[in-house]
């Protein structure tokens, strides 16, 4: 295989799809490459793969803020995302996730699509934030497009067809408050031990009418905490009560053991993170 075959820079979406279709299971998209370039550290074999670089495709770098939804191209970097969403309080969870992930240099390169597509990356910051904001994903193949919920994507991403590309993330607009709380070992710069992303819609009396809570980094994949969500609805946001409920329902999660923290610790800190999240929602900061 020549260098040009092993590393192809696509200039358009149809070009990328055609290149991926040509390569079949031997091909893979490459955006910011930060996860792929760490493969040797993870002791994963990447030999024989032929990459199709997609980060030069203009439409994948766009953020569109429309009246009814926000569209984020798959190759928008974490830094670009944080800046684009800074003025949208309803998307605070995602702006915080993007602005606080990894470190400044990685945020300049790592993409929202890469964060979603990196399987076996339990501590991906953007994933729980996107779950709590009810994000949907536009997938593109030579045969057409499909929009699916982010949770559905997480379930099928390991078995996607080789010529299927994540084109963009779509977030429905809503009058909600949201927050992203992460616990790294250092103040910043580490993979988080646990993540809680929370979004809530409050009525004029301050009562929660809708709640979405997503937990990341605790288990191998981020997911919603539905029992906690149900308990938050029809009540005013109360950080202490939310933490007590989280403590009560903490056995909903099986913490994963990792080099940076054991599983029991990840579960143990959830109540504290829920309290912080609820406080931020209550104070709308």
Partner 1 sequence: MSLRLNINGEDRLSASDPLTPLVDVLRDEFFLTGAKVVCREGFCGACTVLLDGRPVMSCLMPVGLADGCAVLTVESLALDGVLSPLQRAMEQHDAVQCGMCFPGMLMSLTSFLERNPNPTREDIKAALVGNICRCTGYERIVDAAVSLASSS
- Residues near partner 1 (CB under 8 A) are 2-4, 6-7, 9, 30, 33-34, 37-38, 40-41, 51, 53, 55, 79, 102-106, 108-109, 187-189
Q: In angstroms, what is the minimal distance from the CB of 160 to partner 1?
A: 22
Taking the least distance from each CB to partner 1, the nearer of 108 and 282 is 108
Burial profile 24-38: b = 16 or more Cβ within 10 angstroms, e = fewer: eeebebbbbebbbee
Which residues contact residue 37 at a Cβ distance below 8 angstroms, ignoring those fewer than 6 apart? none
Q: Are 70 and 63 within 8 A, CB to CB? A: yes
The pairing of beta strand 208-216 with beta strand 194-202: antiparallel
Q: Which is nearer to partner 1, 7 or 264 (CB)?
A: 7
Estimate to the nearest angstrom the gap between the alpha carbon of 55 and the chain centroid. 18
Q: How many residues does the chain have?
A: 285
End-to-end CA gap in the chain = 53
Q: Which is nearer to partner 1, 65 or 106 (CB)?
A: 106
Q: Minimal distance in Å, beta carbon 63 to partner 1? A: 17
Task: Tell me if 66 sits within 8 A of 91, measured CB to CB.
Answer: no
In the bound state with partner 1, the residue whose beta carbon lies nearer, of 38 and 152, is 38
Q: Which is nearer to partner 1, 121 or 153 (by Cβ)? A: 121
Measured distance CA(285)–CA(275) in Å, rounded: 14
Nearest approach in angstroms of CB 51 to partner 1 is 7
- Cβ 33 to partner 1 shortest distance, Å: 5
CB of 37 to partner 1, least distance (A): 4
Q: In 3-state terms, what secondary structure has residue 3? A: helix
Cβ distance to partner 1 smaller for residue 109 or 149: 109
Cα within 13 Å of Cα(90), Cβ side: 16
Smallest gap from Cβ 230 to partner 1, in A, equals 37
């Amino acid at each position: 295989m020549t260098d040009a075959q092993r590393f192809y820079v696509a200039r358009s979406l149809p070009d990328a799809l055609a290149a991926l279709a040509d390569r079949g299971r031997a091909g893979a998209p490459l955006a910011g490459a930060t996860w792929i370039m760490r493969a040797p550290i993870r002791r994963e074999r990447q030999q024989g793969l032929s990459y199709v670089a997609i980060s030069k495709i203009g439409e994948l770098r766009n953020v569109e803020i429309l009246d009814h939804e926000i569209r984020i191209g798959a190759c928008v970097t974490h830094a670009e995302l944080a800046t684009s969403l800074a003025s949208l309080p309803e998307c605070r969870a995602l702006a915080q996730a993007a602005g606080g992930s990894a470190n400044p240099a990685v945020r300049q390169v790592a993409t929202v699509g890469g964060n979603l597509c990196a399987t076996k990356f339990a501590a991906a910051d953007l994933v729980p934030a996107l779950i709590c904001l009810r994000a949907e994903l536009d997938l593109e193949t030579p045969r057409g497009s499909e929009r699916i919920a982010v949770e559905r994507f997480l379930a099928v991403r390991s078995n996607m067809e080789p010529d299927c590309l994540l084109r963009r993330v779509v977030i429905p607009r809503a009058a909600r408050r949201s927050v992203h709380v992460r616990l790294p070992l250092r103040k910043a710069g580490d993979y988080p031990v646990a993540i809680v992303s929370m979004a809530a819609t409050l009525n004029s009396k301050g009562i929660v009418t809708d709640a979405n809570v997503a937990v990341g980094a605790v288990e191998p994949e981020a997911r919603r905490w539905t029992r906690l969500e149900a308990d938050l609805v029809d009540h005013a946001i109360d950080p202490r009560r939310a933490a007590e409920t989280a403590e009560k329902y903490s056995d909903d999660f099986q913490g994963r053991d990792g080099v940076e923290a054991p599983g029991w610790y990840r579960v143990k800190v959830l109540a504290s993170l829920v309290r912080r999240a609820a406080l931020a929602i209550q104070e709308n900061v």
